[in-house]
Each structure stands twice: as structure tokens, then as C-alpha cells.
């Protein structure tokens, strides 16, 4: 397939105008020349491509998911996809020319507002790549704010996020430490944590602030914010996290939606794009990218981050999702996720699973299966099209539910476990 | 346009209405479960608007109409490669088997995705001549970051203290910003009169504390670095690694390979060269390719094809890995689209770059008499003009005036070494007629400015908003909606829904 519309006639005319005889005359500088054709497959027509890609996609198997651990399978209203597929949203780039890209900017402003409302913070940027690197950026921000290089992480951070944090810290010469003191740049706590536990983290923010450290709350399952107190109310200076739950498919891990929100005093330290409302020459309301002096294209090595391309379209998707759900819809999602998870939890408990959560949980929980049974349970569930959770080893399991896990699904999950126990 | 927060009406039910069911059951329980949480955990208010589906759809459809994209017209934003984004690739990325696959699925359930990632890596290796790729980076800047992290780990392993990174003064700002994130100092080398990195200044700066040379090739002037082989050899002799910022790979497909220019690493922007849509600013993908001696530093996991043709995610073989830079394996949806694009072009992929170069040179030939060409050389896939003869701020004014002609303006004021820079990248997906119309518009504007400079200064005139005041935006920041920012200053109590009403307080007595 060829997406270039240039005809042979055009090509000849263009070459003539340039004053060369052939395209080869234009590429003489590009050295060293590759003397043979690249060994890529035969070009495919659209029809052949679709067939080929259907075949590949069918080698994947989609399950009923009782797994979260950073990616949550929520319902996405149909209108989200219809709207983000509009070429006006899809095929533009960063709105450098504000007058021509008010659509992206207007939506960015609404996105920032939604994130602030949900997290209880003052300012949000227009998105980060995804949750774990957003957390790493929050750590870099803290260190640049107070000039300290030690990071304290409360137990219960998603282990994949921890790995990413370690990689970024190695690059930036930061240390992960076991106690909070006057060298601590920031204190990090995930809420709900990796195991699903939720708590009011006021005491953590007080400990951080006592030594002049910033307090970062990481939210990986943001539908929880519909019914839980927002981190802004218990003293977070920075809230970062993953917005994938808001209208973005699980997508085998990406693209997702990192977000970052801060208190006012960190405005000039925040990485990434920020949209602001302003007026035009006639006094009409409009939107522009603002505080760009923080960014790499102006500040270069003194920039707050190197981030440039973000995940704008995912931010637009989540904005549309939140608008479609509204507060009623979002609270329903949260209540259904909560109740389905607790329903399954109770049923598993009655089957002899040990409850490991020491605190209240939202839609994800940690249990211990009866000794030695987990491998069998997992493989039987898989045979029946169910991904039963995340196996944490030693019969330890992390299970998550959303509104997509119907009461019927929960019942079949439970009956497969019962059968497994019988045939063991 | 209203803000979405200014609506308040009946919502459309997208998930089962829990409160409804509760009423029918005459209790608080949802499917037999009572939601009970300690009082200090329960949200007090949630000020989101309730909006009907029709008005959400109208709101965002109308908002989208205030936007411009490649689907609407010519978008020659230099350095960004705003080429056509094939529609079929959107459909394919949304096949259930791709979009609904959980990243932590069992290995037997992800064979299709792993095959795609593995095959994409093979094709990217052929195109660049590199030996291994990480598909993790979410954007070019994260690809750079990974490259600089690998550089740091490489010298740490060799026990060498190298603290400096060389970049030319034409480089993207990300190169310097990335170096700083890993605590490297940047040495900026000026460009010579032909737009190359000044080879004499380069030699002077290349001391034994230099870890890395980061070059964009073709560079941001749209010019191929003429001394690239000498630079690479000098760097390697000095024990310094060579990094290619692959933002301009659209000029090189099938023509020359970065490995043959002796680069050790390159990131590719799949959203530029390989046509995944820019989405108003992302998502992108900034995959990183390296030569074999650096492959062991790449992030985990790696996709491996076993002898039995099964694909696995391997976490153990990367002895020197820098770790991992994201929660998952990459922006998979973007990988699907880029894979599709490469399969579509196949062995004819060279034509993409040939036509990109043809279009740029043709457009340049139409414009070089009316605007200044600061480096008088044949360009590659893009070129940089200067409008300095039209005075201060002329590039900005020309860009704003172009809006009235229905074109997206070029990148302006970059690269920094050209005053009043207009950086123009037409891409291969435009026809001659479009290029002719664009050139005519730019020539008209040049004539207009000569006759009456005020016209361009007041532009744009035909957009929904006139020139926006960026200074005011920064002076009086208004970065979000709040209930209080309404014109009447009154708080909208209706917007507050007391979550407490439907969540039982477990610490109370009842």
C-alpha cells in the first residue's frame, strides 16, 4: 500500500522545478548509501493487511478478568471511541498554534479540572505517559524542589511501579531509604495500595511535612476516588497515578494515562503541558498552553522534565468518559466495583480462603488459598475462560473486580473453585 | 463554548443504576453487599456534572470542530512528521484481541501480541541496522532517557567516570533536558556555515570525560550531517558512545541506515516516521534500538522467540539491564499501528523517504526566493527558512496569518540558531497541488507584509478566536474550573452530591 499521492507526472514536473534529473540526485548526501532493497515483506493491500492482523489478534485469548494490579477492565461507553476517532482530535498535534487548536486546549482545560476535582488538588497538568513514570517524575520534582536525594516508600506500592522508580532513581542519583528524616525529599504512599487496602494517610503526610519532605499519593485505581476522600484532604502535595480506568481499554498495557496534580506552591515545578484560560484581542475567552518556560523546548537542560509528547488523546478519552458517566455514573461504577469484590471475597472466605487485608479494601483484595491449591485453581479457571487474579506465590492471590464482573461471573468463579477442590 | 461543568441534567445510564436497585430492594445493599467504610475515608462531595449523552456528544463534537488535524488539511509542522494516519490501522488497533488483552494475562493468551512485538522488532532492526530494540519508551523523550540511562550504566560497569554529553546547538531541547535528568553536563557545540556540527569545536571538546554524542541526523535544519563518519570514528576512538535522535528517520528509510553511520543507539518516533496518529499531543512511542554490545542493558522483559516458535517474556537473560521504565511493555496500541504501516509499505518503504525528500525540495524551490535560506544546501525531508528580513516577531506573525489561509503553520523559532525560523516539513503524503497552494499563501503573506505589515500583526481574522494573550494567561493563571469561578460567584450546590448518603459509615453505631 502506498499513502503518497504523487503521480509520475507530478514527480517529473517537481524534479524539473528543483533542477535535478532524478530523485537519486536529491539523496546523494545521505551516506553511506544502502545498496540493496530492505528485506521487508511484500507490500500488503488493505484487505491483505486486515486478514493478516485478524489472524494475529486471534492468537490472543481474551478472558473474563478478575485481575487488576494496575490495569482495570471497566466499561467504556460507546460514545468515547466515536468521539476520539474524529480526525480533528486524532490527527492534530500539541496545540502550539492555539487559535487553530482550541478543541484540544478546551478539552485539556476540562481534563485538568476533572483531575483537580477528583484528587482534591489545585493544579493538574495535561497528562504524563502512564502511572509509574508519572510517579518517577513526581519524585524528580520533589528532589528538585527541596534539593534532597532520599526517597521513602510506604509498603504496598505496586511492585512494577517500584521497579520503574528504582530505574529512574539510578539515573538521577537518588536513593530509596527505610526511614524518614531531614534528607528525605518525599514520602510516597499508594492508596488504595497494591493489595487493595485503603486508609486515611493524614499521619503519613504529617510525618513527611514534619521533616520538610513532600508527600506524594499514588492512585492506580482512580474510580476509587468517586467514594473515597481525595488525597488533597489528607495532606498530599502531589497526587500522581494511572487514569486508564477512565475510558481506556486495558490495551495489553498501553497507551494508558498518567496524571499529575499538585498544590499551588509547586506550579512552576510541575513537568509537562499545562493549559490556561485567557482572552483574545477582542476579549473573547480562549485557551493557550501556558507556563511553557518550565519546558524543554525553552529551558533545555534547566527544564523541569524532558517530557514533550504526552498522551493527550487518552486525556481527551478520559474527559469524555467522565462527562458521560457524570457523578451518578462514576459513583455507580465505584459501588458496583466495591460490592462485586466484596461479594467474591465473602464467598471465597466461606470456601476456606484466608483474608489477608488488614484494612478496608475497595475493589481489590489479597487472600491465601488453601495450601497447595492455587495452581490447580488458576489452570481450571483459565480453561473456563477466567483469569482468576494475580498469583503472588505461596498460594497468595490478588483479585480485583469491576462492574464488568457480573454476579453470574462471580458465581461461576466460585463453582469452578468448588469443583477444583473436589477433584483435587 | 460552555465548559462541561456548566451542564446539569439527567444523565444517560451507561452502567446499572445502583440507587435504583436499592430502592426496589428497600435497603442500602448492592447485590447483598452493604458498602461500609470508616467515616474518615468517605468522600464528602463529588462536584462532577451530570450530563445527558446527547449533550456530551454535541459538546465534544463541536469542540472538535475548533481543531485542526492532518485529516483537515496541510500540517507542515517541522520536526513532527505530520503525515497521513491510515484509518485501517485505527480499526486494527481496536480489534478485541488487541484492545481487550490484559497485560498480566497468562503467556498462552498473549501469543499474538508477543508475535507482533517480536516481528516489529525484526523489521525495525532491518530498517535501522541496529541489533536489538526496546519497545517500552512512550515517546521520543523517554527513548532518549533510556538511552542516557544505558550510557550511564555502561560506564558505571566499565568503572569510567564520564560526566559529559556533547550535543550540537541545533539539537532538540529534549536532548539537553534528558542529559540533565541523569545528572550529565551538556557541552553544546556550535554549527558551522554549512549547518553541520563544527568539527573543529567538536574535536576540542571531545575529552576523555565525554560519555555520549547525541546527534539528530538529518539534523533539525533538515540537513544531513556531512561529517558523520568522521564524528563517529573520533567518538569511538575516544571511547565515547554515539546516540542518534531518530526524530528525522522519515528521510532515511531504505536509503541509509543509522548503524552504517556508526551510531550505537537510536530512538525512533513511531508517531512520526511510522504514521501512528499524534492525538493532539500523544500517545506516541519512542522505541530504542542499540548495537549488540549494549543489548544486555535494555529493559526487562524482552520478547523472545523459542525454538518451538512460542513467544515468551524473558526477565532473566538481561544481565546488565537498567531495569524497566514503565508499568507494561510499551504503548502497545501504537506498536500495532506502526507494525501495520510497515507491513503496508513493505519492501517499498524507501519510496516514503524519497517522496518526503522530493516534496521538501520542491517546496523549498518555490519559497527560497521570497524567504531567506540560511544554509544554502539541498535539504532532506524538511527545511528551515528565515523571515528575519521582515523584522522581529515576523515568524510568529506569518504563522498566525497562515491560519487564515487554512494551513497549519510550520514550527517557528526552532532550531534556535536560525533567527525568525520557519521549519517546514511537508511529508510524503501531500500532492503537488497542496504544496503549490501553500507556497502561494506564503508568497502572498510576504507581499502583504511588504505592503502593510499590520495585516499579519493582527492575524488571525477568520478563526473562532483572535490572537490569544499568552502573557495574561501566565500572569493571572486560570488553570481549572471551580464552582466559584462561575460568573455569578455563587457555589452551585446542586453539583455537590453527598457520597455519604449512599455509603454507610462503619464506625457509627447503627
Each residue's pLDDT tens digit, A137-170: 999 999 999 999 999 999 999 999 999 999 999 9
CB contact under 8 A, A133 and B326: yes
Residues B162 and B59 in one domain: no
Residues B165 and B129 in one domain: yes
CA distance A163 to A155: 14
Q: Residue B490 above 50 pLDDT?
A: no
Which CATH number does the domain housing residue B427 bear? 3.90.1150.10
Per-residue pLDDT, A183 = 97
* Pairing verdict, β A238-242 and A64-65: unpaired
Residues B47 and B180 in one domain: no
Q: Which residue out of B2, B10, B14 would a mutagenesis test of the A interface target, given it has the greatest number of A Cβ atoms within 10 Å?
A: B14
Mean per-residue pLDDT over chain A, rounded:
96
- Tell me the helix, strand and coil percentages in chain A, rounded to 5: 45, 15, 40
Per-residue pLDDT, B26 = 42
CA distance A194 to B202: 50
C-alpha distance from B73 to closest chain A C-alpha (Å):
10
- Structure letter (DSSP) for residue A278: E
> Chain B residues with CB inside 8 Å of A194's CB?
none
The position carrying cell 524532558 is A306
Residues B358 and B453 in one domain: yes
Instruction: Please tell me which of the candidates B139, B176, B336 has its beta carbon nearest to residue A309.
Output: B139
* CA A236 to centroid of chain Cα atoms: 19
> Chain B residues with CB inside 8 Å of A97's CB?
68, 399-400, 403, 408-409
How many domains is chain B partitioned into structurally?
Answer: 3
Write the burial class of residue B332 (CB in 10 Å: 0-12 exposed, 13-18 middle, 19+ buried). Answer: buried
CB contact under 8 A, A276 and B365: no
Residues B179 and B302 in one domain: yes
Q: Which helix (H) or strand (E) holds A321?
A: helix A312-350
Residues B20 and B126 in one domain: no
- Structure letter (DSSP) for residue B110: B
Q: Residue B241: inside a domain, yes or no?
A: yes
Q: Residue B32 above 80 pLDDT?
A: no
Instruction: Please tell me which of the candidates B115, B183, B469 has its beta carbon nearest to residue A279.
Output: B469
Average pLDDT over residues A21-43: 95
Q: Residue B105: inside a domain, yes or no?
A: no
B96-149 residue pLDDT tens = 999 999 999 999 999 999 999 999 999 999 999 999 999 999 999 999 999 999
CB contact under 8 A, A123 and B480: yes
CB contact under 8 A, B183 and A298: no
Domain map of chain A by residue range?
64-71+327-423, 86-319
- Written as nine digits, the cell of B497 is 452530591
Residues B378 and B450 in one domain: yes
> Chain A residues with CB inside 8 Å of B414's CB?
297
C-alpha distance from A210 to closest chain B C-alpha (Å):
22
Residues B172 and B152 in one domain: yes
CATH topology of domain A86-319: 3.40.640
CA distance B101 to B105: 7
Q: Residue B74: inside a domain, yes or no?
A: no
CB contact under 8 A, B328 and A254: yes
Buried (b) or exposed (e) across A264-274, using 16+ Cβ within 10 A? eebeebbbbbb
Average pLDDT over residues B246-270: 98
C-alpha distance from A278 to closest chain B C-alpha (Å):
5
Q: Which residue of B has its CA nearest to A255?
A: B331
CB contact under 8 A, A102 and B358: no
Say yes or no: domain A64-71+327-423 is CATH 3.90.1150.10.
Answer: yes
Alpha helices in A157-216 (DSSP H): 159-171, 202-210
Instruction: Please tell me which of the candidates A90, A225, A226 has its beta carbon nearest to residue B69.
Output: A90
Per-residue pLDDT, B485 = 55
Residues B228 and B299 in one domain: yes
> Chain A residues with CB inside 8 Å of B350's CB?
37-38
Average pLDDT over residues B291-298: 98
CB contact under 8 A, B344 and A308: no
Q: Residue B475: inside a domain, yes or no?
A: no
CB contact under 8 A, A312 and B281: yes
- Domain end among B346, B372, B392: B346
> Chain A residues with CB inside 8 Å of B480's CB?
109, 112-113, 116, 122-124
CA distance B78 to A36: 29
CB contact under 8 A, A2 and B3: no
B389-443 residue pLDDT tens = 999 999 999 999 999 999 999 999 999 999 999 999 999 999 999 999 999 999 9
Per-residue pLDDT, B508 = 44
C-alpha distance from A1 to closest chain B C-alpha (Å):
5
> Chain A residues with CB inside 8 Å of B305's CB?
none
pTM: 0.96
Q: Do the first three CATH levels of A64-71+327-423 and A86-319 match, i.e. the same topology?
A: no
A382-404 residue pLDDT tens = 999 999 999 999 999 999 999 99
CB contact under 8 A, B469 and A281: yes
Q: Which residue of B has its CA nearest to A11?
A: B358
CB contact under 8 A, A250 and B100: yes
* Pairing verdict, β A150-153 and A175-177: parallel
Q: B499 falls in which pLDDT band (50, 70, 90)?
A: low
- Written as nine digits, the cell of B123 is 523489521
Per-residue pLDDT, B272 = 97
Q: A371 falls in which pLDDT band (50, 70, 90)?
A: confident
Residues B271 and B415 in one domain: no
Q: How big is chain A, counted in residues?
A: 424
CA angle B452, B456, B460 (to 5 degrees): 140
Q: Residue B494 above 90 pLDDT?
A: no
- Structure letter (DSSP) for residue A267: G
Which segment of A29-43, A289-303, B244-258 scores lowest on mean pLDDT?
A289-303
> Chain A residues with CB inside 8 Å of B261's CB?
31-32
Can you give the residue range of the structural domain that contains B497? Answer: 4-64+482-505
CA angle A186, A190, A193 (to 5 degrees): 150
CB contact under 8 A, B66 and A13: no
Q: B34 falls in which pLDDT band (50, 70, 90)?
A: confident
CB contact under 8 A, A328 and B497: yes
CB contact under 8 A, A97 and B408: yes
Residues B128 and B240 in one domain: yes
Residues B400 and B438 in one domain: yes
Q: Residue B133: inside a domain, yes or no?
A: yes
The position carrying cell 556555515 is B193
- Structure letter (DSSP) for residue B494: G
C-alpha distance from B420 to closest chain A C-alpha (Å):
15
Q: Residue B4 above 80 pLDDT?
A: yes
Amino acid at each position: 500500500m502506498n499513502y503518497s499521492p504523487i503521480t509520475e507526472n507530478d514527480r517529473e514536473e517537481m524534479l524539473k522545478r528543483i533542477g535535478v534529473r532524478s530523485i537519486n540526485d536529491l539523496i546523494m548526501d545521505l551516506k553511506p548509501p544502502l545498496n540493496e532493497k530492505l528485506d521487508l515483506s511484500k507490500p500488503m493491500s488493505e484487505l491483505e493487511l486486515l486478514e493478516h492482523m485478524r489472524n494475529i489478534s486471534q492468537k490472543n485469548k481474551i478472558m473474563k478478568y478478575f485481575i487488576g494490579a494496575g490495569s482495570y477492565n471497566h466499561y467504556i461507553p460507546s460514545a468515547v471511541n466515536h468521539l476520539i476517532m474524529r480526525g480533528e482530535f486524532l490527527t492534530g498535534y500539541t496545540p502550539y498554534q492555539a487559535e487553530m487548536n482550541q478543541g484540544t486546549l478546551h478539552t485539556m482545560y476540562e481534563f485538568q479540572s476533572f483531575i483537580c476535582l477528583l484528587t482534591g488538588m489545585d493544579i493538574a497538568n495535561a497528562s504524563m505517559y502512564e502511572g509509574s513514570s508519572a510517579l518517577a517524575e513526581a519524585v524528580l520534582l520533589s528532589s528538585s524542589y527541596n534539593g534532597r536525594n532520599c526517597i521513602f516508600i510506604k509498603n504496598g506500592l505496586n511492585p512494577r511501579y517500584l521497579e520503574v522508580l528504582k530505574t529512574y532513581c539510578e539515573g538521577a542519583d537518588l536513593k530509596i531509604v527505610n526511614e524518614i528524616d531531614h534528607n528525605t525529599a518525599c514520602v510516597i504512599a499508594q492508596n488504595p495500595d497494591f493489595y487493595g487496602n485503603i486508609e486515611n494517610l493524614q499521619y503519613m503526610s504529617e510525618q513527611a511535612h514534619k521533616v520538610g519532605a513532600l508527600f506524594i499519593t499514588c492512585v492506580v485505581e482512580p474510580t476509587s476516588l468517586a467514594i473515597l476522600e481525595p488525597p488533597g484532604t489528607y495532606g498530599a502535595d502531589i497526587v500522581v497515578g494511572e487514569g486508564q480506568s477512565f475510558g481506556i481499554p486495558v490495551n495489553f498495557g498501553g497507551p494508558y494515562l498518567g496524571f499529575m496534580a499538585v498544590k499551588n506552591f509547586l506550579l512552576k515545578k510541575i513537568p509537562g503541558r499545562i493549559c490556561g484560560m485567557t482572552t483574545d484581542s477582542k476579549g473573547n475567552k480562549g485557551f493557550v498552553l501556558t507556563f511553557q518556560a518550565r519546558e524543554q523546548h525553552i529551558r533545555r537542560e534547566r527544564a523541569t522534565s524532558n517530557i514533550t509528547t504526552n498522551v493527550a488523546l487518552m486525556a481527551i478519552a478520559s474527559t469524555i468518559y467522565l462527562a458521560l458517566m457524570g457523578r451518578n455514573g462514576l459513583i455507580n461504577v465505584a459501588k458496583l466495583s466495591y460490592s462485586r469484590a466484596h461479594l467474591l471475597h465473602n464467598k471465597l472466605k466461606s470456601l476456606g480462603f484466608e483474608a489477608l487485608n488488614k484494612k478496608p479494601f475497595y475493589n481489590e483484595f489479597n487472600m491465601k488459598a488453601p495450601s497447595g491449591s492455587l495452581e490447580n485453581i488458576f489452570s481450571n479457571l483459565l480453561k473456563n475462560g477466567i483469569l482468576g487474579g494475580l498469583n503472588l506465590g505461596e498460594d497468595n492471590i490478588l483479585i480485583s473486580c469491576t462492574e464488568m464482573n457480573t454476579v453470574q461471573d462471580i458465581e461461576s468463579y466460585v463453582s469452578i473453585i468448588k469443583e477444583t477442590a473436589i477433584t483435587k | 463554548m460552555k465548559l462541561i461543568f456548566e451542564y446539569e441534567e439527567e444523565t444517560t445510564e451507561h452502567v446499572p443504576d445502583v440507587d435504583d436497585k436499592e430502592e426496589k430492594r428497600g435497603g442500602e445493599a448492592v447485590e447483598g453487599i452493604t458498602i461500609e467504610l470508616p467515616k474518615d475515608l468517605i468522600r464528602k462531595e463529588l462536584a462532577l456534572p451530570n450530563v445527558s449523552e446527547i449533550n456530551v456528544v454535541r459538546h465534544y463534537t463541536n469542540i472538535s470542530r475548533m481543531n485542526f488535524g492532518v485529516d483537515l488539511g496541510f500540517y507542515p509542522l517541522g520536526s513532527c512528521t505530520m503525515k497521513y494516519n491510515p484509518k485501517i490501522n485505527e480499526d486494527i488497533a481496536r480489534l478485541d484481541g488487541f484492545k481487550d488483552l490484559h497485560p498480566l494475562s497468562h503467556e498462552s493468551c498473549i501469543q499474538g501480541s508477543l508475535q507482533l512485538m517480536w516481528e516489529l522488532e525484526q523489521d525495525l532492526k532491518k530498517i535501522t541496522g541496529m541489533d536489538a530494540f526496546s519497545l517500552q519508551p512512550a515517546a521520543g523523550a523517554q527513548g532518549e532517557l533510556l538511552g542516557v540511562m544505558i550510557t550511564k550504566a555502561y560506564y558505571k560497569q566499565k568503572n569510567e567516570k564520564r560526566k559529559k554529553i556533547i550535543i550540537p546547538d541545533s539539537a532538540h531541547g529534549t536532548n539537553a533536558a534528558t542529559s540533565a535528568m541523569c545528572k550529565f553536563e551538556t557541552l553544546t557545540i556550535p554549527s558551522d556555515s554549512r549547518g553541520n556540527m563544527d568539527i573543529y569545536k567538536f574535536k576540542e571538546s571531545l575529552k576523555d570525560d565525554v560519555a555520549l554524542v547525541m546527534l539528530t541526523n538529518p539534523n533539525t535544519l533538515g540537513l544531513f550531517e556531512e561529517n558523520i563518519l568522521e564524528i563517529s570514528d573520533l567518538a569511538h576512538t575516544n571511547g565515547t558512545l554515539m546516540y542518534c535522535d531518530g526524530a528525522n528517520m522519515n528521510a532515511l528509510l531504505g536509503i541509509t541506515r543509522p548503524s552504517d553511520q556508526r551510531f550505537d543507539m537510536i530512538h525512533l518516533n513511531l508517531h512520526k516516521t511510522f504514521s501512528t496518529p499524534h492525538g493532539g499531543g500523544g500517545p506516541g512511542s519512542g522505541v530504542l534500538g542499540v548495537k549488540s554490545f549494549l543489548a544486555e542493558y535494555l529493559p526487562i522483559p524482552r520478547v523472545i522467540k523459542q525454538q518451538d516458535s512460542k513467544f515468551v517474556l524473558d526477565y532473566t537473560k538481561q544481565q546488565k539491564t537498567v531495569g524497566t521504565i514503565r508499568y507494561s511493555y510499551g504503548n502497545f496500541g501504537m506498536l500495532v499501528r506502526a507494525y501495520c504501516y510497515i507491513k503496508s509499505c513493505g519492501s517499498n518503504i524507501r519510496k516514503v523517504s524519497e517522496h518526503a525528500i522530493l516534496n521538501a525540495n520542491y517546496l523549498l524551490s518555490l519559497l527560497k526566493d521570497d524567504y531567506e535560506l540560511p544554509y544554502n544546501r539541498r535539504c532532506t525531508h524538511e527545511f528551515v527558512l528565515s523571515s528575519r528580513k521582515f523584522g522581529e516577531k515576523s515568524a510568529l506573525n506569518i504563522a498566525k496569518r497562515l491560519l487564515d489561509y487554512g494551513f497549519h503553520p510550520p514550527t517557528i523559532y526552532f532550531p534556535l540558531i536560525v533567527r525568525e525560523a520557519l521549519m517546514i516539513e511537508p511529508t510524503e503524503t501531500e500532492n503537488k497541488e497542496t504544496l503549490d497552494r501553500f507556497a502561494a499563501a506564503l508568497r502572498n503573506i510576504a507581499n502583504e507584509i511588504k505592503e502593510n505589515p499590520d495585516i499579519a500583526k493582527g492575524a488571525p481574522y477568520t478563526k473562532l478566536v483572535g490572537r490569544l494573550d499568552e502573557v495574561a494567561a501566565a500572569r493571572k493563571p486560570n488553570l481549572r474550573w471551580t464552582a466559584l469561578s462561575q460568573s455569578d460567584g455563587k457555589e452551585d450546590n446542586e453539583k455537590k452530591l453527598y457520597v455519604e448518603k449512599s455509603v454507610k459509615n462503619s464506625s457509627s453505631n447503627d
